[in-house]
Structure 1
C-alpha cells in the first residue's frame, strides 16, 4: 500500500512539517523525520509530493502550484466511501469527482453529514464559529493545526447547515484556510 503527503514549499520554507510527520506516523506507524527528505528548493510556490509506504519514503517530487478557482459545488451522496489514510490510489475519490457535472468541485455527503471535498477539508461559518465536520474522510494537516489552535470546532454538519452557512472555507496544505465569498451548490 502506497500513501502520499502534499506539502507546501515556498520562499525556501517547508510549511507545517510537524503535522505532516504526525499524519505519516499515524498512517504507517513509523516516526519519520521528513526534514531528511524534504527541502524548499526555491522562492517559488511548490507542491511537494512525498510518496511512502510502511517501510518509509519512496519518492519526493516538486511541482509548481496553481490554485484552482472553485465557485460551485455538486453535493455527492456516498455512504460507503472510505479514505481515512491518504492513499496514492485515489480512484474512489476520482470516481466521485467525475460526477461533478458543471460544478467546479464536489462536497461528499456521507451518512447524511458533510465530510470533505475531493481535494480539501471544509468548514462553515455559522455566524459565530467556524465548524468543521466531526467525521471528515481524511483528517487534513491544516484542519489538525487549526483545531489544535482552537480556531475550528468539530461538529456534525448537515446539508441544511451547509446551505444556511454565512460563509464556507476550504483547507488543505497548499491553500491553508481559504474563505469563499461567492459560491453555489447543486444537487
Structure 2
C-alpha cells in the first residue's frame, strides 16, 4: 500500500527533527497549547504504541494509547517506537487489516488506509510542533513541500478533518481552522486547516 510507505517517509522526516531534542530542551513550549516538548513526546510515543497494537489486531482498548513515560533518551524512545509502528503498518498491509482506534469518533474499526492517513497527519503535524519549538521548522516544511506525493496525502487528509465546533472543541485533537497566509505552501495550508499558525514562534 503506497500510503504505508508515505507514512514511513513522514516518520523518517520527523525522527530527524526529534533527534535534535536534548534533555535540556524538554521544557520548551510547543504550538500545542500548554504542552512542553516532554508532554508532546510522551503523547507521540504513546500513540506509536497504540497504533502499532491496533495494527497487530488489538481491540478497542483505550489504555493501549496512554501517554508514555520517557526514558533517559526521549529521541531514542520516539525513534524505536516509530520504527515499530512502521513495521506494524507494513504487516497489516499484507491482509489490509482494519484498525480499532478508540480515541477517534466511535472507535472504528477503520479501514487501514484511513488509519494510516490519520497517523501520517499526526506524525507530520507533531513533527512540525517539535521543529517549531526548536526554532527549526523551515527545514521540515521544505522537505515535505518538496515531496509531492507526501504533501498531497497530508493535505488530502487534513482537508477531510471536520472543522465544526463539535470536532474542534477544547480538548479535541485540533483547534478551529485558520486562513493560511498569502503565498503559503501546501504544508502551511495543512497546518492552518488543522488550527496551527504556521508563523508560530516560541517566546524568548
Q: What TM-score do you get using the length of structure 1 for normalisation?
A: 0.30
More strand per residue: 1 or 2?
1
Using CA pairs under 8 Å that are at least 6 residues apart, name the structure with larger relative contact order, 1 or 2: 2
Q: What TM-score do you get using the length of structure 2 for normalisation?
A: 0.28
More helix per residue: 1 or 2?
2
